[in-house]
């Protein structure tokens, strides 16, 4: 099984900015989310932890590695999609016509990476890791995790436009008898454990 974990909050996430290959660190809230992710996965039989090379993913993966007693290994295929000229812009500032054109074409932002390229590298990662024994934790970003879910369901990557994936969420993909299966998507209950205890 592959357990995909999205990284915790960064300042651009908090401020509603497009975040791709830029490399901000986690906020204080992001570190709290990472600690809750680690606590949620600490009791699972984790065999390996793989992470995007970007700092926010590695800072999320490190406490998971400490909690599970497993070293973190960087896998470049887990990196976020390249948003090109849209990087750092407010999501509300993108013209509706530009976004519609992006969706109608091949899903490539100006000077950025295409959805096809994203799908190829994520598909390669998923096929390879589902062949491994044990539970694999993959700490990544919103676009690669949505692409992995689309791969598991055998649908086109544009289904991502109809998905919401929260920060520090968990998504699980397993191997069925004849095909991969999406076991869960956007699990966030672990983020509210402390809130429930304090009530």
48-63 confidence digits (pLDDT tens): 999 999 999 999 999 9
Of the residues 44, 66, 80, 190, which is catalytic?
80
Torsion of CA 115, 116, 119, 120, to 10 degrees: -150
Query: pLDDT at position 47, please?
Result: 96
Query: pLDDT at position 133, please?
Result: 87
> In whole angstroms, what is the distance from residue 29 CA to residue 167 CA?
11
Residue 78 burial by Cβ neighbours in a 10 Å radius (0-12, 13-18, 19+): buried
81: DSSP letter? P
> In whole angstroms, what is the distance from residue 85 CA to residue 29 CA?
28
Whether 80 is a known active-site residue: answer yes
Query: pLDDT at position 198, please?
Result: 45
Calculate the average pLDDT of the chain.
92
Query: pLDDT at position 105, please?
Result: 63
- Which strand (E) or helix (H) includes residue 139? strand 135-140
Whether 190 is a known active-site residue: answer no
Strand, helix or coil for residue 47: strand
Q: Are 147 and 120 in contact (CB under 8 A)?
A: no
Q: Based on C-alpha coordinates, what's the Rg of the chain?
A: 16
Domains of the chain in sequence order: 2-197 (3.40.50.1240)
pLDDT tens digits, one per residue of 132-159: 889 999 999 999 999 999 999 999 888 9
Query: Among 113, 107, 166, 172, which residue's Cα sits nearest to residue 142?
Result: 166
Query: Among 146, 178, 175, 176, which residue's Cα sits nearest to residue 162?
Result: 146
Residues of the chain with pLDDT under 70: 105-107, 194-199
CA atoms within 13 A on the CB side of 134: 10
């Amino acid at each position: 099984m592959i357990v995909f974990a999205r990284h915790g909050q960064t300042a651009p996430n908090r401020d509603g900015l497009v975040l791709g290959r830029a490399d901000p660190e986690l906020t204080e809230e992001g570190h709290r989310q990472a600690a809750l992710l680690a606590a949620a996965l600490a009791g699972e039989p984790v065999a390996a932890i793989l992470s995007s090379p970007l700092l926010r993913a590695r800072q999320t993966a490190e406490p998971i590695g400490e909690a599970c007693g497993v070293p973190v290994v960087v896998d470049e295929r887990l990196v976020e999609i390249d948003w090109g000229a849209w990087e750092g812009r407010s999501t509300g500032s993108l013209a509706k016509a530009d976004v519609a054109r992006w969706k109608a074409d091949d899903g490539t932002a100006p000077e950025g990476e295409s959805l096809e390229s994203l799908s190829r590298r994520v598909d390669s990662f998923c096929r390879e890791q589902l062949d491994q024994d044990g539970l694999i934790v993959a700490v990544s970003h919103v676009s690669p995790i949505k692409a992995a879910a689309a791969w598991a369901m055998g649908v086109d990557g544009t289904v991502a436009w109809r998905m919401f994936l929260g920060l520090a969420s968990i998504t699980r993909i397993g191997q069925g008898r004849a095909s991969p299966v999406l076991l869960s998507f956007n699990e966030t209950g672990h983020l509210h454990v402390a809130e429930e205890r304090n009530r």
